[in-house]
Amino acid sequence: QSVLTQPPSASGAPGQRVTISCSGSSSNIGSNTVNWYQQLPGTAPKLLIYNNNQRPSGVPDRFSGSKSGTSASLAISGLQSEDEADYHCAAWDDSLNGPWVFGGGTKLTVL
């Protein structure tokens, strides 16, 4: 059972906007920044969003992140078929759970 809670699945049609939530606690999301990783089928995770809402070079601005309190969200606008992947949130945890904790991952299906 993962320390951060994500919905197991999400879906949307091409062109739509979808959001994926990540819920934590005061020891992780509540006091530290959140990173998001995209994992395409059969590949290693790739950094998608860091420091809550920053995009690494090369990541389209269709991807955005936000954080409020002990929860974070990843939004994908203008959904494309190549966005079909697993998405994982991660945060530093100040408790014995840490130091790094992940969500269980959300499988995004593009309908």
Partner 1 sequence: QVQLQQSGPGLLKPSQTLSLTCAISGDSVSGNSAAWNWIRQSPSRGLEWLGRTYFRSKWYNDYAVSVKSRILINPDTSKNQFSLQLNSVTPEDTAVYYCASGEIRFDYWGQGTLVTVSS
**Sites of contact with partner 1 (CB under 8 A):** 1-2, 33, 35, 37, 44-47, 50-51, 56, 88, 90, 92, 96-97, 99-105
Which residue lies nearer to partner 1 by CB, 40 or 111?
40
Sign of CA dihedral 17, 84, 64, 5: positive
Under 8 Å between Cβ of 45 and 39: yes
Give the Cα separation of 79 and 13 in Å (integer).
Answer: 7
For residue 68, the minimal CB distance to partner 1 (Å) is 20
Which residue lies nearer to partner 1 by CB, 2 or 19?
2
For residue 92, the minimal CB distance to partner 1 (Å) is 8
